Structure 1
Amino acid sequence: MATPDTSGPHLLLCGPHRRHTADMGEPAGYSIKTYRYLRMAMVAMVVLLGAALVIEWSKTNPHCLQTSISAYYYTPVQAIFVGALITIGVCMVVLKGNTEPEDILLNVAGVLAPGVAFVPTPSPGSCRSVPMVLGDTTANIANNMLALFIVGGPCLAVTLVFVTRARLSRADSNPMYLVGFAVVAAIFGGGILWFFVDRGGFDGHAHYAAAVVMFVCIVAVVLLNAEQFRRKQHRAEHHRAPTTKPMPANRYSAIAIAMVVVPLVMWAWRALFGWGHVVLWIEGSLITLFAIFWIIQTQELWNEGLRGDGQELPRSQATPSPLRSRSLE
């Protein structure tokens, strides 16, 4: 479970976080509990979206599927599709990554998630349980994206104030915070420019652009965690007493390999034999694997906070993880 951090502000949330330390005076560790709930909320949103998709599919011909998860925007799943993506995006921005590169990747993915939700795929597909009632998609995009830009702009400005103040006061000299801010600001500014200069191109292609970059960031986060956990294993093994149990296997590596190999195999199958639903299954596989990754990471960091940062809760405040067996506590 990633904890708040005072070393720099977290993007788009209009405020800095406080690191949860061992001498924390809050009763029962309310701060870290909040972050645990945020992490579990992300998994709940994935399950919610999956349930909505299955319910919609059960009401159609078993062989009738939309060509992508995004195409279910044009079915009764729409409200949950949009709401789940926005919630997941906010959670990814709020939560602190174990390292600054991981934090930047989570921020970028979180910033792009509302774009994936607000700008639907241009192809509505043909499989749905009820006749399609298509509203004015262009008007929806214009309204919702403009609202996102209006809110996001001031949040970026406030974030810049926090970054600048931290550097001027020498409370933080890590240049990665400036890099992270610059990356998100560039994506946000580029989106605004694209929106106003080429509205037709934005409406037709922004969904794909945001979705591809978001998934790339998610895969990169898992790859980073696989390497971080390998280093943690190495350090633990070096200092492990003969009587203590070794660390568990690096499950992040298995997930990272699957997130790279599975889409490549599916895309190769499509190229060789044709497969109209390849995007649907690639999206579904990556989302499922990311949910599994998030559960495993939440279990690993339930009490210790950020991996390898030395910030571990004292036993008096530690709470057993409901995702972990008693033998591992």
Structure 2
Amino acid sequence: MAEPAGYSIKTYRYLRMAMVAMVVLLGASLVIEWSKTDPHCLQTSISAYYYTPVQAIFVGALIAIGLCMVVLKGNTEREDILLNVAGILAPAVALVPTPGQGSCRSVPVVLGDTDANIANNMLALFVVGAPCLLVTAVFVLRARLSRADRNPMYLLGFAVALAIFGGGIAWFFVDRDGFIDNAHYAAAVVMFVCIIAVVLLNAKQFRRKDARRVPANRYSVIALGMVVVPVVLLAWKAMFGWAHAVLWVEGALITLFAIFWIFQTQELWNEGLREGGQELPRSQAVPSPLLSSSAE
């Protein structure tokens, strides 16, 4: 009979693999839709595929990915906060579509009242989010009072989540038109910034391992790509004009994050977290799990 810890590691693995599966699911849906249109007919962004038959997959995959990022524990408190913020914002990216519907779709899509959809879905999200934050506050307060965990980063993480949630509610009710027009972009930009920061943190953490066992820091390569590729593509758009620059920027970032997630899952296949989820001191050498057995 497997030990309880073994079940925890298995659950951790399944959640991680589920995130990759959601990215592949979204990619497959996009390719299928593109294959049914003219090869040169592309929406200007992945988000604009909300207005095509991809809509259900787009919304469902982003919500599932967001839940996984919130549920999964980061290797450090900073990584955990960044994953939580990205996970909180992912449903907003899904439920508040980009205002531009685009013109490339395989079939005419009968759209309902988008504003009404946003009003209903975001209100439902707030209704669910409020008690979740309340329960989180109870856990954080209980840990502080019992002195089980006095780490201020948990308070910071809760404060950030509360600020995002409270700011979103205020924006939604005070300036509904502005929310409908701009919330998608605001949430998407912050979400991608958090994702890039997660990769950068892992590149820094991975460098602290024994250099003799880690021939190359692939997280650094991915992080470099996540910074350079958007800059180059957007600069090209600014200089020469390119309607599909955002589409390729989003596609590149999502692909690179999926590659990062696969590498990190492989690295942490047996451990789940690096060194119990704490920052490793620079003097401590840890053999790379990438070179060890990954059998269950």
Q: TM-score range, shorter-chain basis?
A: over 0.9
Match of residue 165 from structure 1: 142
| CA spacing shift, 1:168–1:143, aligned 2, 3 Å | same
- Aligned partner of 1:219 among 172, 180, 196: 196
Q: Structure 2 residue aligned with 1:271, among 238, 246, 258?
A: 238
CA distance in 1, matches of 2:48, 2:68: 24
SS in 2 for 1:67: coil
Q: In the alignment, which of 252, 273, 283 is matched to residue 306 of structure 1?
A: 273
Query: Percent identity, aligned pairs only?
Result: 80
Query: Residue 113 of structure 1: SS of its match in structure 2?
Result: helix
Distance 1:309 1:133 in 2: 50
5+ residue gaps, structure 2, are: 279-288
Aligned to 1:294: 261
Alignment of 1:37-116 (within 5 A): 37-116=14-93
Q: 1:132 to 1:100 in 2, by over 3 A?
A: same
Distance 1:118 1:257 in 2: 30
d(CA) in 1 for partners of 2:293, 2:266: 13
2-structure distance, mates of 1:52, 1:209: 25
Aligned residue for 2:127? 150
Following superposition, the deviation at residue 49 of structure 1 comes to: 0.1
Tell me the CA shift for residue 309 of structure 1: 3.1
Per the alignment, residue 141 of structure 1 pairs with: 118
Alignment match, 1:258: 225
Task: Tell me what 2:247 maps to.
Answer: 280
Contact 2:12 2:272 (C-alpha < 8 Å) held by counterparts: no
**TM-score, with structure 1 as normaliser:** 0.83
Task: Give me the whole-angstrom Cα distance separating, in 1, the residues matched to 2:182 and 2:204.
Answer: 34
Please tell me the residue identity of whatever aligns with 2:86.
A
- Residue among 161, 178, 183 paired with 2:160: 183
User: In structure 1, what is the Cα distance between the partners aligned to 2:146 and 2:6?
Assistant: 29
Could you list the runs of 4 or more consecutive aligned residues of structure 1 that deviate by over 4 angstroms after TM superposition?
A: 324-329
Aligned pair partner of 1:125 in 102, 109, 112: 102
Read off the aligned partner of 1:308 and give its amino acid letter: E
Higher helix share: 2
The CA distance in 2 between the partners of 1:78 and 1:325, in whole Å, is 41
- Are 2:231 and 1:230 aligned? no
Q: Could you tell me whether the CA contact under 8 Å between 2:62 and 2:94 is conserved in 1?
A: yes
Distance (whole Å) between structure 2 residues aligned to residue 25 and residue 66 of structure 1: 49
Q: 1:327: how far off?
A: 7.2
CA distance in 1, matches of 2:236, 2:44: 16
More deviation in 265-274 or 64-73? 265-274
> What's the Cα RMSD here?
1.8
Count of residue pairs brought into register by the alignment: 284
CA contact (8 A) 2:97 2:184 kept: yes
SS in 1 for 2:98: coil
Q: C-alpha distance in 1, partners of 2:17/2:111?
A: 34
SS in 1 for 2:274: coil
Displacement after TM superposition at 1:148 (Å): 0.3
